[in-house]
């Protein structure tokens, strides 16, 4: 996949290598792409010492590094919220894995590859973040290693805003922030446990939106990205997610947890992607 980037320089001229490094592409991949002659502009191939000019376009041929042509796709109806040369965002249904567990090919990642095969796009896909099998809503995938590294850096430094909606069981009176240490449950390989520790690794902020007779609707922002973070946190607060059979005892057929919105910067451009699903009708 040949991807175009517009160069925006604030002050001084910099080299291609400096620009790539400043945008979090790793040294190994920079070196590999350069050896493969994957960098070019309108005049042809350029090397890492090339001095970039403001507002010029450069091109990176990521297919020389990696592609999806050897990966088997999975035919599945996708709800695509956003797509460009760097990312694709899907409005995920419950009941499908993000990527394979080692045995399953019926995954969202393979469904995207099937979709790309049909439009002759050989982009190598990676999930930028993950939501659980039972969770619905926005999931973002990177279409090349450059976008993946750029967004992963933001994820690791808590620069990406992720908003969830959830119905929890019972009455939760006030907004709050819960900090926990989340780790694997030694007694159940499918579960995680949350507890207070001197150095916590999971921060969850929640805001009460409304109450019903038996439930509370919350807007939730996670400032970290630990497995099952929201589910573990709500169970710790004695208000498990409605329909969460792993961490609660509610027998609803659906788990009412929606990845509602994600907001981030992608190469100097603000991107906000919102689910089209309604938390009341999951």
Spatial distance between the Cα atoms of 246 and 162, rounded to a whole number of angstroms:
23
Which of 85, 96, 90, 78 shows the shortest CA–CA distance to 62?
85
From the list 85, 91, 122, 132, the catalytic residue is: 132
Spatial distance between the Cα atoms of 77 and 86, rounded to a whole number of angstroms:
21
Spatial distance between the Cα atoms of 163 and 274, rounded to a whole number of angstroms:
9
- Kind and range of the H or E run holding 112: helix 108-118
Spatial distance between the Cα atoms of 94 and 137, rounded to a whole number of angstroms:
8
Which of 33, 67, 30 shows the shortest CA–CA distance to 144?
67
Spatial distance between the Cα atoms of 242 and 62, rounded to a whole number of angstroms:
43
Spatial distance between the Cα atoms of 45 and 206, rounded to a whole number of angstroms:
50
Rg of the Cα trace of the chain?
A: 21
- The bridge status of strand 257-266 relative to strand 136-142 is parallel
Known active-site residue 84 = no
Enzyme catalytic residues? 132
């Amino acid at each position: 996949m040949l991807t175009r980037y517009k160069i925006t320089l604030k002050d001084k001229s910099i080299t291609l290598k400096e620009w790539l490094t400043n945008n979090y592409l790793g040294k190994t991949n920079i070196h590999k792409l350069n050896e493969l002659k994957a960098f070019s502009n309108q005049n042809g191939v350029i090397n890492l010492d090339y001095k970039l000019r403001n507002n010029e376009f450069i091109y990176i041929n990521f297919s020389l590094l990696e592609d999806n042509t050897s990966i088997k796709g999975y035919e599945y109806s996708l709800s695509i919220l956003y797509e460009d040369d760097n990312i694709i965002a899907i409005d995920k249904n419950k009941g499908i894995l993000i990527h394979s567990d080692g045995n399953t090919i019926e995954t969202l990642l393979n469904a995207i590859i099937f979709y790309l095969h049909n439009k002759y796009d050989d982009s190598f896909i990676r999930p930028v973040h993950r939501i659980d099998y039972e969770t619905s809503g926005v999931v973002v995938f990177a279409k090349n290693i450059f976008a993946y590294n750029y967004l992963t850096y933001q994820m690791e430094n808590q620069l990406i805003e992720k908003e969830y909606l959830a119905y929890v069981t019972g009455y939760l009176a006030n907004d709050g922030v819960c900090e926990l240490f989340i780790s694997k449950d030694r007694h159940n390989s499918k579960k995680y446990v949350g507890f207070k520790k001197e150095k916590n690794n999971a921060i969850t902020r929640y805001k009460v939106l409304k109450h019903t007779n038996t439930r509370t609707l919350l807007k939730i922002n996670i400032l970290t990205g630990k497995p099952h973070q929201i589910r573990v946190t709500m169970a710790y607060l004695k208000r498990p997610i409605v329909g969460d059979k792993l961490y609660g005892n509610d027998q609803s057929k659906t788990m009412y947890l929606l990845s509602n919105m994600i907001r981030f910067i992608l190469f100097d451009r603000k991107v906000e992607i919102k689910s089209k699903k309604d938390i009341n009708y999951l």
